[in-house]
Structure formats: structure tokens, C-alpha cells
Structure 1
């Protein structure tokens, strides 16, 4: 039955352009013959409400080609259905209140009066909802020209109702909310053996069961209205009031003063298709998407690192940064997709991020400057991971770098994060960039010592040291005659990783050899000349005679 309806709807929709073209040609021909008074425009009628339980994916296809005016009509139609469903829910909740009054009172007459009010409110709401649904379905059928086809496809009404009644009797459940209300009203009528209190309890239970079904139907209608509103919003329509109403009537209203009703509501939501089952399914999809995203991010990062290592010549610092950035981007995209599985609309979030981008940019000028400096460091490659560097006032080993800061590990095992701007705007000294370094040493001896002997001792120490390189050759030369000493410069070469060992071991061995040879390393000293007062007086007298 539903398949035939949808097939006829698609046929009619496909034929609408041809019909409109034919109508325009006919109208043009008639106008060429004679001028007639203008006819009023045909009132737009909804057609998507022909089946209130239409699948969402099919509804999205149906609303895509509609204009703004047509979508407005469809939105109003679905809004009426939702509004009436909200009224039914309100009537059911009011019925629960009335049954509670009947249960709590000791007056049988007052209890019966409360039950009658509860029954009347629900029947009125059900009647209005049923009439509205039938009216909208009738308009949709007229709009699509499906009256004859639908009537032909309909079975006899009496037989359908009888079959539905038999099925409901067999299964023990009403076919819809109206039948549920009728059963509740029948159960509320006390017989000879029952009391009004018992009838009220039975009616309350029936109303609570019906309330869960009504809430599921309301959620389904809200979803379909949201599909129409999404298309209408894309085409310039105002949908804010509709969405505010959806938010206002959605959710579960638990009456904490009525423990049984609250528990029934929670239990009904957990087992309902549009409640707990839907949330569990969405949560499962969310976790699965996150897991897949995590795997894809790791695989993508590994592939990017492999490509950079073998196909592109970049520093390890740049490779680490690019691979980690790819990983983070993949994970952010996957997380956004996972949020949609929880039915969270990320569009407002993205719009808010875009709108606040300028403000954030102004507030984060320092961060953006560090970002630019980080890019310059990656492009110019002044250092890499593992290099010993003096930069930004810090000397240490480079551990890692991002686009904001660089992490150093100092020789006393401190971890220091230096902003990239401080590094790039100052002198950068890469101590371990080259494989070979020169060790600069200077030894001081006394003026009374033999400087040639001292030079020979230093050369012997260098020649015997296994870590001192033969090429380039070491330089040992008397460099300066200082105030208190004769200074001898010693400049051997060593591999970068052996620089510190060469410096300390050569210094230690030269001091030991000097001590053995009796060569002193003098302290700073000054000569002081003392004159007596008489000598100064005589000297001054001689100067005055001159």
C-alpha cells in the first residue's frame, strides 16, 4: 500500500514539469485568441504529509526540489501535526493528574467526576488530532491527484476496522492512541465488583502506556519537521520560531511528586524506539566512528611519515610536526562526524567559530606570531631533533617542536618550552650541527718557566690522546705575554660527540705533566714599590729647586 502511494507520488512529481509546460502553451494560445479576466492563483497545498510515517531519507528527496513558498506550506502542515501531538501529550498528562485525584480522594462521586474529566480531555485532543491528520492527508492526496488511485487501493473500511479490532484483541494492545484512550475509558467505568479507585488505577496505567507512545510519535514528527526546516533554511526561509517550538515541547517531563508516573516515564523512554533504543544506537555509532577515526588517523600519520622519510628530504622536526598535524586533522574531522551520529548539529558550532575568528585572531596575536616563526624555522631548518642548541637564551637538546613553541632538555635534565618567536627573533647557535668541532684551550705559565718546554709537553699530550683528530692538525702556540703569565693557546680538533671529553681530559693531563716538569701556573700578581717619607721630602725639595 505504502509503496504504491510513493510510486504514484513520484510519477506525479515527474510529470509536473511537463504538465506545467503544456499548461503554459495552452494558456498562451488562449490569450492569443481573446483576453480573459485573470484567475486567482491556486492555493498551495502540502503533499509530504500524505504519510506521516514517511522515512526521513525519502522525505529529504521529496523536499529538495521545492521552492521556499512550497516548503513554507509543508512546514506549516508538519507543524500542525506536531502541535496536535503535543496537545495529546498534554491531555494525557492532565489525565494522569485527574486519575491521581480520583485515587487520593475518598469520595466516590468526586472520583468518578475526575475520571470523566480525564476521559473528556483526552477524547477531545484525540479527536482534534485525528481530524487534522485526515485533513492534511486529504489535501496531500488532492495536490498529487491520488484520490482515485488511493480510493481504489483502499480496502473496505468496515473490513479494515474489523481486522484492526481483531488484531488488537489478539495482541492485547490498541492500534493507536485513540483506541488506547477508548480502552482506558472503558476500564475506568466501574462495574459491580470494582471501585472508582481501582478504575482510576487501571485508567492511569493505560494513560501512561499511551503517553509513551505519544512521545515516540512526537519525536518522529519533530524529526520530519526538522527535515523540512533544514531545506527551508537553505532557501532563505525563517525557521527560528519552528525550532523554538520543537525545543519547547521535546523531552520527557517527569513528575517527581508522582513516583509511579516518573518511573513509568523513565522505563517507557528506555524501552521506546525513539527514546532509549535510539540513544543506544546513536551512542554505539558514535563510539564506532571514534574508533575508526583513531585507526585511520594513526594509519594516515604513519603513511605520511613514511612518505616524508623516503620521498621528501625534510628534517625530523618537520616530519614529526607534519605527521602529527595530519593525525589531529583526521581526528577532528572524525569527531565532527561522530557528533552528527549523536544528532548534534555542528553547523552552528562551525558558524560560531568562523564568526569569532577575527576576535580570536586579534586576541592571539602573540600566538599567531609564534605560528609564523614556527613556519620560518621549519622552512630554514636551523636545527633538528637531537641537536644541542643555544636559542632564546636557553642551551639544551631539542626534543620536539610545534607551531607555537619548541621544547628543550637542558643538561641538568630540565624541560623548557621556548616560544618560537623568541627563538626566531634572536641568534640561534647550533652547537652540534657539524660532525667536527675545535676545542679551544689556553694554558698560562710563569715568566721564569721554559715556554718551549711547555709547548712540547702540550703537543705530546695531544699526540697521545686517542680522541684528538690528526686532521685537521692541532695548533699549539705561545699566544700572549700577559701581566702575570705567558699564555699558550692549544686548539685540537675532535668529533662533536667527543668535544667535552677531549676538553676535560687534555686539561687534566697537561696540568699533571706541568707539575711533573716543575712548570708553574702563576696566580695574578702585581709589583708594589714602597718609599719612605724622608726620601719623598728630599725628592720634592730637589724638584722645587729645579
Structure 2
């Protein structure tokens, strides 16, 4: 109920004072200028610091409607809280150092002086932090017109009872401050007192580090909203980075172990990291499942509704899967409290440079799109493209992968494929087998034709329709050539070619039909013969 009241008052605070401003500027400038708060910057007071432990989600709601000037005031207020918390941590660390000095010295007087200095520094830092927090809470209460301490009391309490409750709260705060550094025992030695104070300093240090982390988170929410509205937040964030984390003194084993153990069991340390890692892993697993299911659904739709090529289906489904995985990974990084905004901004800023540097890749990308649109081949087709003959295995928007017949995997750029002739060898279900047999001039060509026809009729893989063609078509220099053109299913093309060739050769050998090799007749004349002929011609 308490935060509901705060949110309702926030709405009234943020929007009601701005209504006259909006109306005035709309009248004078037609709403062209951005409405600014009618309240001067020096008169603005913070109100989100009314509760330094306000939940993060509620703080995000509260800062969203604020203007740049108002957010600057809120950022300064949270920065003061963080700075004082950093001072308290520094004082606690200094206290550990002073207690170590007291433990290591043999002079009791010097040890007591070190302990007094440590206690004094811690009390001063605690007092400053408390005063700052009370001041900011008071300003926020005045700004919102509420008194959280009174509202928190029971409704049926009288004024006297409420006053008593406030005094009890103040008294408990003073008691808590006193308990941070307990007074030395009467009969204890300086060394024992120093050990007790050191342990208390270390415990207090872990608690202060948790509180510092919580304040840093709240300041970061205000800074994020301020940056979105044009504010300069670089100095604040540098300070947050400078004071964050834990510092371990390796020269002090007990302090180091206490710091590690305290970080592991702390709510803002080990527990928070464990929870974040768990969310990171869970997000990745869920993303992987969603990507797998999503790509499967897309593939099912493409197969049954759109009916694209398998190559396009694989590419589209894999692309969707990769996009889902990329988005999921970015979301998972936010679970680890990694800010992905600078990464995305850097990618956008370097997009033009990358585009110029990858002109060849973009050309391959365009060629890949053209291949997908025109569909000259699909997965499993035997293709001659880009100077490569092989089976198409897969394709992306940059290259196509072929598996050659001697089991080589070759990646061919899509640009080389699209800009050259593409021959799809297995695109059709039926192919013609082109064969040619040569016989000698002394052999019976009609008998040879009959033998070839018989071989084709006996082969079960040769199709009857279309009918095969066997005909003598050329009288070559040293042979008579007979053309054989049977038809076969595409998957049987190679079997038909080899089987028919082997059987024709065997039948020709049985029939005594020769297959001549190229030959030439060379006539040699002697010099005497040529001289005699010339003399005869001269006498005539």
C-alpha cells in the first residue's frame, strides 16, 4: 500500500504541474517545442530517494515520466548516497588496517591509539552517511507531501503513540550504529579487542558492499533514463565503475577469506551471481528449444503450404533458427547484467564500413537470392556450375557446397554460379544415352545394327518409350560409324551406358565384327624412280 500511494502521488506530481505548460506551448508554438518543467532547476527536489531500498521495478516506473532536469536532480541525490556508502566502505577497510596494526604491535598504548583512530573514522563516515540519507529522505517527503514514518504506523494510533513509535525507531537506529563497532571489554587486552573489532569491521564491510551494490543499481536506472533524454551520465558511470567490486588484501589471509566468504553468501554478491548465471543458462536452453521448434514449424509450413525447393526451405529455416538464437543470446547476456546497447550501437555504426569492405560478399548474397528465386537446382541434384560438376549438398546466401564424384567437398561462391552457365544434369526424370560404335568397311553394317538392337531389347533398364534409335550415320576415314541412342531413367543413365557398351563389344567379337582404329596409308617413292619418270617426261 505504501508504494501504491507513492506511485499515485508521482502521477499527480509529474503530470498535473506540466498541464499548464503543455497548454501554453501548444497555444504559442503549436506543440512544436518540447514541454519543460515550469519549476526552475534550483528549486527541484528529489523524491525517488524517499526510500533508498525501493524495488528496482518501481523505481523504473517512477523515473520514466521525469524530464531531463528532474532526472539530473534524482541522479545527484542517488550519487550522494552512493558516495557516502563508498566512504563508509573505505572507513571499514581502513579500520581493518588499523586493527592489524594494533594486533601486530607490542606497544599497548600504540595499539589503543590505532583502535581509537579506526573507531573514530568509522563513526564519522557512518554519521555523514546517516545525515545525508536523512536529508534526502526529508526532501523527498517534503516534495511529495508525505511522512513515511507516520504513514507506516498503524491507522488507529494516536499522535502520542506515533511520536513514541518514531522515537523508538530513532533509538533503534542509534543502537544499531553503536553495535557496528562494539566497545572493548573491560578485562580484555588490546590485542583481543583489536581482533574483535577487526571481525566486526569485516562483517560490516560485507554488509556495506551489498548496500553499495544496491545503490549502484538504483543510480544506474536513473542514469539510463537520463541518458535517453539527452543527459550526460559518463562521469557518474565512471565513478560507479571505480567504486564497484571487492578489494582483497592478499597480505591479510583472514581478511581475504572473510571477503571471499562474505561475497559468496551475500545477497548482492554470490547469490546474485548464482541467480544470474542460472537465468543465463535457462535462457539459452529455452532459446535453443524455441529455435528448434520454430525452425521445424517453418519447415513444415514451407513443405506443405508454400512448396519451395528443399534448398530454399533449408536456408529459410536455418536463418530463422540462427536469428532466434542470436536474439536469445542477447537476452541471456542481459541476465548476466551485460549492457548490450553499446554492442548494438557499435554494430550499427560500423555497418557502412563493413558493407563497403564486403562488396564481394554482398554480391554473393544477391546472387544467392536470385538462385533461390529462379530455382535452377535443388539439394541432391547433379549440377555443372561455376566450373564444378557434383551433387548439391547445401547452400547459404554466400556460397553453395558441392560433393564431387571423387568425394571432394567444394564451396563455390554464388556469384560464380549465377554469372555462368548452370547445367542441371538430374533435373529431368529421363535422359538419353548417346553412344557411337565404329566398324570396319569390310564388315556388314546391317548385321552390326541388328546386334546393337538386340542388346538394347535385352537390357531391362532401357526404356521402350521413347524408343531407342540405332542407325548408320557416317562413313569416316577408317570406319563406318553407327549411332546408338537409347533412353533411360536419370538414376539408371550410367548403368545403361556401361552395360550396353560392354555387351555390344562382346557380341561384335563373337560375330567377328572389327572395331578399327584410325589408320592412314603412306606411299614411299625412291629417288631413282622419281628421276626416271622426270627423264621420260623430258624426252617426250
- Other structure's SS at 2:251 match: coil
Change in Cα spacing, 1:47 to 1:507, as seen in structure 2 (3 Å) is: same
Change (3 A) 1:535 1:23: closer
Instruction: Check the 8 A contact 2:181/2:201 in 1, yes or no.
Output: no
Q: Does 1:158 align with 2:167?
A: yes
Counterpart Cα distance in 2 of 1:240 and 1:40: 24
**1:227–1:500 Cα change, 3 Å:** same
Q: Which residue does the alignment assign to 2:355?
A: 361
Output aligned runs, 1:417-496, within 5 Å: 417-496=411-490
Match of 2:139 in 1: 139
User: SS state of the match for residue 476, structure 1?
Assistant: strand
Q: Does 1:374 align with 2:383?
A: no
Structure 1: give runs of 5+ residues left out of the alignment: 26-38, 166-173
Asked if structure 2 preserves the Cα contact closer than 8 Å seen for 1:406 and 1:417, the reply is yes
- The correspondence for 1:4, drawn from 2, 5, 24, is 2
Q: Is the 8 A contact 1:95 1:207 kept in 2?
A: yes
Q: Given the alignment, which residue of 186, 195, 213 partners 1:219?
A: 213
**2:432, 2:261 → 1: CA distance?**
80
Q: Distance in 2 between matches of 1:216 and 1:426?
A: 67
Counterpart-to-counterpart distance in 2, 1:393 and 1:534: 59
Structure 1 match to 2:268 = 274
Instruction: State whether residues 13 and 144 of structure 2, in contact with CA within 8 Å, keep that contact through their aligned partners in structure 1.
Output: no
* Partners of 1:518 and 1:20 in 2: CA distance: 111
Tell whether the 8 Å contact from 1:119 to 1:181 is kept in structure 2 after alignment: no
Deviation at 1:419, TM superposition (A): 1.5
Q: CA deviation at 1:179?
A: 3.7
Matches within 5 A, 1:138-537: 138-147=138-147, 150=150, 153=153, 155-156=163-164, 157-161=166-170, 175=176, 178-183=177-182, 186=183, 189=184, 191-192=186-187, 194-537=188-531
Q: Is the 8 A contact 1:180 1:206 kept in 2?
A: no
Secondary structure of the structure 1 residue equivalent to 2:520: coil
Normalising by structure 1, we get a TM-score of: 0.90
Q: Are residues 16 and 86 of structure 1, via their aligned partners in 2, closer, same or farther at CA, if it must alter by over 3 Å?
A: closer
CA gap of 1:20–1:301, structure 2 versus 1, over 3 A, is closer
> Displacement of 1:126 after TM fit?
0.9
Matched, 1:68 2:68: yes
Describe how 1:39-50 pairs up with structure 2 within 5 A.
43-50=43-50
How many residue pairs match? The answer is 516
For residues 23 and 358 of structure 1, the distance between their equivalents in structure 2, rounded to whole angstroms, comes to 42
For residues 364 and 265 of structure 1, the distance between their equivalents in structure 2, rounded to whole angstroms, comes to: 50
Q: In the aligned structure 2, how far is the partner of 1:24 from the partner of 1:413?
A: 74
**Offset from partner CA, 1:381-421 (integer Å, 9 cap, x none):** 01111111111121111111111111111212222222111
Residue in 1 that maps onto 2:93: 93
TM-score (norm 2): 0.91
User: Contact between 1:383 and 1:430, CA under 8 Å: does it hold in 2?
Assistant: yes
Cα offset, 1:24, TM superposition: 12
Gaps of 5+ in 2: 24-38, 154-161
Distance of 2:186 and 2:149 partners within structure 1: 47
CA offsets, 1:229-273, max 9 Å, x none? Answer: 011011100111111111111011111111111111110011000
Given that 2:14 and 2:65 are in contact with CA atoms closer than 8 Å, whether structure 1 keeps it comes out as no
RMSD: 2.3
- Look up the SS of the partner of 2:410 in the other structure: strand
Range with greater deviation from structure 2 (217-226 or 396-405): 396-405
- The Cα of 1:515 is off from its aligned counterpart by 0.4
What is the CA-CA distance between 1:465 and the residue it aligns to? 1.2
Distance in 1 of aligned mates of 2:382 and 2:232: 62
Which sits farther off after the overlay, 479-488 or 263-272? 479-488
Aligned partner of residue 472 in structure 1, secondary structure = coil
Deviations 1:198-232 (A, max 9, x none): 11111111000000000000000000000100110
8 Å Cα contact 2:10/2:62 also seen in 1 = no
Q: Deviations over 1:402-457 (max 9, x none)?
A: 11111111212222222111111111111100011000001111111111111111
Q: What SS class does the counterpart of residue 394 from structure 2 fall into? A: strand
> Post-superposition shift, 1:17?
4.5
Q: Is the 8 A contact 1:392 1:422 kept in 2?
A: yes
Structure 1's 211 and 40: CA in aligned 2 closer, same or farther, altered over 3 A? closer
Which secondary structure does the structure 2 equivalent of 1:319 belong to?
Answer: helix
